[in-house]
Structure 1
């Protein structure tokens, strides 16, 4: 089923009007999907797989896929505030936030704000932690050139090449936009590590075993830092497990959401 575009949401953020392109599909418990630096297309397989049981909300980060930038939204924290405003305007409750790469970082930032609308987070090969000897650092896809597919995917021959040059150029532009939000320090917030132990909601950290952009050791650190987190290593998947191992990711999310509901009812 194709994603159905809805009208732009107009709401006030940082004393300014902001518009956000949002796609929705499906019915059920709301899930907010937050895309990576590759753009919203990287979440499409997961969105389609979840729509049978969930109300899927997929916003496009300002500036991505040639959407306009928004005045006053210049940091990852600003994007987190923007998305929380979206949930407020949509009157969404009991939301599971699922974020890949930088989307995982934004998901963590949103949850740390202690919004009553957020019930849990799922981090798919998230970034945001500052470098450490144990976890390493985030590699810059723009510096890897044609080799980026081999670093990002378990099976780069199948998944690592964009379908055409237009798609490849769009991804490059998206990566450049991401640098404006999180280029300095590169793809991390030095304060995140000390804030994660205060995570107020249950968390699931899913990691592709073959990810060489951010290694599984980096993912283990994410899970270890949060008080109510579990870690799931996915074989035969890289930085985008929702693309290479969609069924495994969907099953893991369903189990996680079920456990969150059970905890609230007990």
Structure 2
């Protein structure tokens, strides 16, 4: 990690939830907020020490102006791991959180990260597989692109309380700042992934239309040691639509990375 990272992020206050004991697992949510990984973190806490932050700017938390890109977020979390003196860390990230996890691994100079799980991650440019412009979608379009069964998860904005609509709008505004230009990717990230040699599991919902399974397969191939798995009957958030299948694959990956020699 760059030597100036500690000074840059030492005064950053992070909202964290922690549970369980054992190997440290950092769980990073996507644009939908921390609720999208609550069940996943709860499951992992049965056998690991889970650390689940709220990204600064989500759900009413403060985002300092200097935290303006995903690589800033990645460096902030690397500082957290360094400050806690955590080693043998598995980083699990969903969507935008997966992008952050990949960026963390690419910038990890201390070797504290020993495993990665990316779930329907964004963050790279894949020729011929564009990332859907999420900001241009209405509520129905978001449901159609995000879920295998959109009718089950679609919520008419007219039925959502004003306070919840405001929270979602503020989260989207933060996401636009961090990931809006260039849209949902870092042009430099893809060629850097080959240097990441930790075991990397890339999970993808077969019905994801935000970023397609073909995008995910190319993402996984770019890692030095990547493995790609498709989850049937799931969209952009398989940990919610198909939790049992998703958790089983992550548990197996956790066991594989636990078995590696120190």
Q: Shared topology, TM-score over 0.5?
A: yes
In 2 relative to 1, CA 15–206 (structure 1 residues): closer, same or farther, beyond 3 Å? closer
Over aligned residue pairs, what C-alpha RMSD do you find? 1.8
Indicate conservation of the 8 Å contact 1:100/1:123, yes or no: yes
Gaps of 5+ in 1: 1-10
Partner of 1:127: 122
Partner of 2:136: 143
Does 234-243 or 256-265 show the bigger shift? 256-265
**What TM-score do you get using the length of structure 2 for normalisation?**
0.91
Q: Distance in 2 between matches of 1:255 and 1:141?
A: 32
2:230 matches 1:233:
yes
Q: Distance in 2 between matches of 1:126 and 1:15?
A: 25
1:109 to 92, 103, 106: 103
The number of aligned residues is 253
Partner of 1:202: 199
2:54 matches 1:43:
no
Indicate conservation of the 8 Å contact 1:197/1:226, yes or no: yes
The Cα of 1:55 is off from its aligned counterpart by 1.0
* Cα-to-partner distance string for 1:75-131 (whole Å, 9 max, x where unaligned): 111100000111122222211000011100100011112332111110000001124
Partner of 1:92: 86
Partner of 1:8: none
Find runs of 4+ consecutive structure 1 residues off by over 4 angstroms.
none
2:71 matches 1:77:
yes
Indicate conservation of the 8 Å contact 1:33/1:99, yes or no: yes
The Cα of 1:16 is off from its aligned counterpart by 6.2
In 2 relative to 1, CA 55–139 (structure 1 residues): closer, same or farther, beyond 3 Å? same
Gaps of 5+ in 2: none
Indicate conservation of the 8 Å contact 2:14/2:56, yes or no: yes
**What TM-score do you get using the length of structure 1 for normalisation?**
0.89
Indicate conservation of the 8 Å contact 1:13/1:85, yes or no: no
The Cα of 1:200 is off from its aligned counterpart by 2.8
The Cα of 1:50 is off from its aligned counterpart by 1.5
* Cα-to-partner distance string for 1:166-193 (whole Å, 9 max, x where unaligned): 4344223212211101111101111111
Partner SS for 1:157: helix
